Amino acid sequence: MEEVTQANILETLPQDMLVKFLSRVGQDSSKQLFILKLVRKSFLNLSDDPLVCKRISLDRWDLVPWRKPKMDHIIRRCYFYGNPNVIFQRGLINYFDKSNTELGLRLIEEAANSQIIKGFVFMV
């Protein structure tokens, strides 16, 4: 009889269930998601899934991650997959850059229409 371990149980779960789990963890706390990525190689690989990137919360990150290439890479992936927090962040940055006010307003509107921005309440 095979010994049941935590690793064995995780291996039997469908990948889509693990992706949903990781996306919910990331939605609540990006720090906890990064800790999970260190626990298992499968978590590391699945954390790049579009659903995880779309839901990850950036509420404890600097608005402008100065000279942090790894963070910039994560933010670009999240933007590519439509993360409303990142779209809102980019909108604010562009809005206050006098040459990109229109783009900033468009991005803020796009983020507001998603209605799932953590930490902000929009009246739509």
28-51 pLDDT, tens digit per residue, is 888 888 888 888 888 888 888 999
Residue 21, Cβ density class (10 Å: 0-12 exposed, 13-18 middle, ≥19 buried): middle
Q: What is the pLDDT of residue 121?
A: 44
**Tokens representing residue 48 in the block:** 């790049």
Helices and strands, number each (H, E), in the chain: 8, 0
- pLDDT value of residue 49: 92
The DSSP H or E segment spanning 31 is helix 30-39
Q: What is the reported pLDDT for 6? A: 62
Distance CA 76, CA 93 (A): 14
What pLDDT was estimated at residue 71?
75
- Residues of the chain with confidence (pLDDT) below 50: 121-124
Task: Note the pTM of the prediction, 2 decimals.
Answer: 0.73
> What integer pLDDT is reported at residue 124 of this predicted model?
36
3-class secondary structure per residue, 45-82: HHCCCHHHHHHCCCCCCCCCCCCCHHHHHHHHHHHHCC
**pLDDT score recorded for residue 50:** 92
